[in-house]
Chain A
Amino acid sequence: MKRLTTLMLAGSTALFASAAFAQHTHVNVAMQLEPPNLDPTAGAAQAIDSVVYSNIYEGLTRFMSDGSVVPGLAESWDISEDGLTYTFHLRDGVTFHDGTTMDAEDVKFTLDRARAEDSTNAQKALFANIAEVTVIDPLTVQVTLSAPTGALLFNLAWGDAVIVAPESIGEAATHPIGTGAFMFADWVQGDHINISRNPNYWGTPAVLETATFRFIADPTAAFAALMAEDVDVFVGYPAPENLPQFEADPRFQVLVGNTEGETILAMNNAREPFDNPLVRQAVAHAIDRQAVIDGAMYGLGTPIGTHFAPHNPDYVDLTGLSTYDPERSRALLAEAGLPDGFTTTLNLPPPSYARRGGEIIAAQLRAVGIQTEINNQEWAQWLETTFRGRDFGLTIVSHTEPMDINIYANPEYYFQYNNPDLQALMTTLNETTDPARRTELLQQAQTIIAEDYVNAYLFELAVPTVARAGIEGLWLNQPTAAIDLTAVSWP
């Protein structure tokens, strides 16, 4: 009898386990913003990449969660001696979700479309050095460059460089067709997007059968949705103040990863008084980074002393150049001929790092005599007046593009830093493919912009993910905006 009970118990456990398993081939993922459309090659919105990158669309190369670049649809490649010709060998047997074959013609179409005259690719600059794309045979494609481009393989890993097919690109905004491990299923605008496993995937198939992306902008609603177990994973959880509560709850796990977002207090280098390096240095010393991180981000974020991601192996810690020292700051202002300080504008875009951080920074600046007039701006307004119009004294923004130190070589860029030495250095860097030499050049560039106090470098943005306990395979870090579900599984 006892054996029978055990058997029955074992049986019912097995039944229960399989029922639980059946439920656990689906995951509900939430993020704050809804993508405006689903074509990653025609828009800058990170939400597009969050949904489609790696899940639906793949590029010749791809990012891993640790930021490394690995082969994607290109199995391997050869680089010519002069660094001007890249020959990509494509994987065999790759098909798009509509059944058509992915071959060299599609690669040529994708790259030519992105760099065309009338291209609407948000990152067109990534393709600027490509002179010609030639199809050698269906599985071989040759990319000829006008100048050596050390970052080409890295550039091709971006969501803006994913391979698309001429047959399906017209509908990509609402019905994306890629080569990824998941296929687009349906999109109820304003509510959710469903994706389902691609049975004909060329690589390791996804563990999940289906996944739903939901869009919850309101922090309180985000908290309730997780607590009610309506969503299983929230990437970019918007209320860091609740994280300890989730950490203490055995139903959840909290992952805090890094991003490529250098959050800076940008200064208008072309406008008085910020055209004076002493004033910029005074601003840098007036700021207590840790207070900003603790006050605005509830402790999430790594202090930075230059415009470079701290988790990158080439990073140099230069925070020592701009330690919190209000006395020094006041002395520098006096030396610059502004002993009584001055008044300037501080334009703040919507994210909490800017709005909350801005209040704290305004108080810190006031302590050394710099009065700020805070303007809260919506993104569209910020882009038009602050970014394009360059009508600002100070602004806070997180530069989320990976490896974007080259923006300092563009004197037209909104903070208008014009240093021919750095511009020459970046040109050399572009033409350098030797990794050791690239490291050296990158480190020089970081030091130059830190010593020139171009901007006040605050912290590297962190991304908190709250997930149900036991879910594995989620990206910890966000080297590019992506919620890659291809390896995600329930226990």
Chain B
Amino acid sequence: MIRYTVGRLLSLCLSLIVASMVIFTVVEVVPGDPAAYMLGVNARPDTVAALRAELGLDVPKVQRYLDWTAGMLQGDFGRSYTYRTPVSQMILDRMVVSLPLAVLALALTVVIAFPAGIYAASRRGKLGDAGVMGATQLGVAVPNFWFAMILVLVFAVNLRWVSAGGFPGWGNGVWPGLKALILPAVALALPQAAILARVMRSSLLDMLGEDFIRTARAKGLSRRQALWRHAVRNALIPVLTIIGLQFSFLLAGGIVIEQIFYLPGLGRLIFQAISSRDLIVVESVVMLLVGLVIVVNFAVDLAYALVDPRLRVRA
């Protein structure tokens, strides 16, 4: 287990270093100068040069890359060119929206997908299975922003139960904050739940065909008992992989949903930063998200080892 963990840890560090290089290069290569963007069409060249100097953009790129990575190791992500505030503070401010949103959406995904997947698998080929499969087919096919718009029209415009968007902040209590995140979380979760339910079902069905289930049935367990006691736990491995990927997606992929609900989350930050060429913000946020994905994958790898003892030995 220790060798396995150390191996995964090394691969994690290597991925982070390569990712930081790729991100920096890609972001810096894209045309567009942040100073020119901020000053607009009437700015004189000497004004743009003055602003570039003020923002530290006249420093050579290699030097900026080293400064940036060295800063990140100490938790300092630099200073935003356009907002003129520390990037780490901006990320923290946005995280308090994006992280709860992603967690809420993931919780909803699991709560919907597990029962649906298990139910469909246990009713294989029957009407219940067909119903769940049809619903998930629809869920996979329909994009989340469309769900989002329908939810807004029904619950905010017509019923007026919640506001159409925005975020009141956690300072006014937990409930107003949660209330603002419910519709976005549902919109994010429905397509993910549909995917996860399908994975859960097919993974379970695979397990039900395995020898150890037949053995379990042979020793007298009913089909349902075999499913619950032996198949579900084993079916969890592919499901965990998907959940890890989904969490990363929910955290990073909220851009469109955050636009529709005008939530002050990471997605919106990155969207604004890209269009204003706030390079340091783009680099830092992308790096953070990539870092999170890598760490989540690391955690999933460790979870495999816990669920499946064979992995511990094999590594």
Residue positions of A touching B, CB distance < 8 A: 34, 36-37, 43-45, 117-125, 173-174, 188-192, 214-218, 220-221, 224-225, 227-230, 350, 378-381, 383-385, 387-388, 399, 401, 404
Contact = CB atoms under 8 A, between A and B. Distances in A.
A45 to B, nearest CB: 7
A221 B164 contact: yes
B43 A34 contact: no
A224 B157 contact: yes
B164 A227 contact: yes
Given A227-B157, A227-B164, A125 B42 contact: yes
Contacts of A378: 32, 274-275
Nearest to A36: B82
B314 interface: no
Nearest to A34: B272
A228 B43 contact: no
Given A188-B264, A192-B166, A224-B157, A124 B44 contact: yes
A387 B37 CA distance: 11
A440 B165 CA distance: 52
A173 B54 contact: no
B82 A189 contact: no
A385 B94 CA distance: 32
Contacts of B149: 220, 224
Given A43-B38, A44-B42, A380 B164 contact: no
Interface in B275-301: 275-278
Given A224-B156, A379-B37, A214 B264 contact: no
B38 A44 contact: yes
B83 A383 contact: no
Given A37-B82, A44-B40, A220-B149, A190 B264 contact: yes
Given A124-B46, A190-B269, 10 more contacts: A119-B50, A122-B39, A122-B47, A173-B83, A188-B264, A191-B167, A191-B169, A221-B262, A230-B156, A383-B37
Contacts of B82: 36-37, 43
Contact of B165 (A216, A380, A381, A383): A216
B158 to A, nearest CB: 9
A123 B264 CA distance: 31
A12 to B, nearest CB: 24
Nearest to A388: B36
A190 B166 contact: no
A380 B31 contact: yes
Contact of A214 (B94, B160, B166, B268): B166
Given A36-B38, A216-B262, A225-B164, A174 B84 contact: yes
B51 interface: yes
Contact of B153 (A34, A122, A191, A224): A224
A120 B46 CA distance: 9
Given A189-B93, A228-B157, A218 B275 contact: no
A466 to B, nearest CB: 14
Which 5 pairs of residues, A with B, have the shortest CB-CB distance?
Answer: A44-B40, A380-B32, A190-B264, A36-B82, A191-B264
B259 interface: yes
B76 interface: no
A227 B44 CA distance: 43
Interface of B: 30-34, 36-44, 46-47, 50-51, 53-54, 82-85, 90, 93-94, 149, 152-153, 156-157, 160, 163-167, 169, 259-265, 268-269, 272, 274-278
Nearest to A229: B160
State the majority secondary structure of interface residues on A: loop
Nearest to B54: A120
A166 B39 CA distance: 22
B43 A122 contact: yes
A158 to B, nearest CB: 10
Contacts of B85: 173-174, 189
B260 A221 contact: yes
Query: Quick one: which of A122, A191, A215, A227 has the most chain B CB within 10 A?
Result: A191
B93 A218 contact: no
A224 B40 contact: no
B37 A123 contact: no
A380 B276 contact: yes
A468 B159 CA distance: 19
Contact of B37 (A124, A380, A401): A380
A189 B262 contact: no
A214 B262 contact: yes
B32 A381 contact: yes
Query: Quick one: which of A190, A191, A228 has the most chain B CB within 10 A?
Result: A190
B39 A43 contact: yes
B90 A189 contact: yes
Query: Quick one: which of B37, B157, B261 has the most chain A CB within 10 A?
Result: B37
B296 to A, nearest CB: 24
A45 B40 contact: yes
A228 B180 CA distance: 14
Contact of B33 (A45, A380, A399): A380
B31 A221 contact: no
B98 to A, nearest CB: 10
Contacts of A384: 31-33, 36
A188 B261 CA distance: 16
B84 A124 contact: no
A399 to B, nearest CB: 8
A229 B165 CA distance: 11
B152 A380 contact: no
B45 to A, nearest CB: 9
Nearest to A215: B262
Contacts of B38: 36, 43-45, 122
Contacts of B165: 216, 221, 224-225, 230
A120 B268 contact: no
